[in-house]
């Protein structure tokens, strides 16, 4: 799995802005794993903590580009719960 550097940078930028100074701790965890090249660990956090990132609509498109859908971690998921 190739990690898109631009998406990672966008995620970092959003983490610093969408929740003021607090940031979003689960996104910091995701970024931590991504920076270590541990994609599967990062994706696991995204799926477990998906209900938290959903509070910030700006985050979801970037997370979907990186990890696929929230439920299955599938890109272009055709599941009816995931397709919009």
**Can you give the binding site for Zn ion, defined by CB under 5 A?**
69, 71-72, 74, 77, 79, 82
Query: Smallest distance, Å, CB 4 to Zn ion?
Result: 19
Q: Please identify, using beta-carbon distances, which residue of 19 and 47 lies nearer to Zn ion.
A: 47
Q: Please identify, using beta-carbon distances, which residue of 23 and 50 lies nearer to Zn ion.
A: 50
Q: Which residue is at the shortest CB distance from Zn ion?
A: 77
The 3-state secondary structure of the chain, one letter per residue: CCCCHHHHHHHHHHHHHCCHHHCCHHHHHHHHHHHCCCHHHHHHHHHHCHHHHCCCCCHHHHHHHHHCCCCCCCCCCCCCCCCC
Q: Please identify, using beta-carbon distances, which residue of 16 and 65 lies nearer to Zn ion.
A: 65
């Amino acid at each position: 799995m190739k990690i898109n550097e631009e998406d990672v940078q966008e995620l970092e930028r959003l983490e610093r802005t969408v929740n003021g100074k607090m940031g979003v701790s689960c996104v910091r965890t995701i970024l931590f794993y991504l920076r270590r090249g541990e994609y599967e660990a990062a994706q696991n956090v995204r799926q477990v903590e998906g209900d938290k990132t959903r509070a910030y609509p700006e985050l979801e498109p970037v997370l979907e580009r990186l990890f696929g859908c929230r439920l299955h971690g599938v890109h272009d998921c055709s599941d009816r719960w995931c397709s919009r």
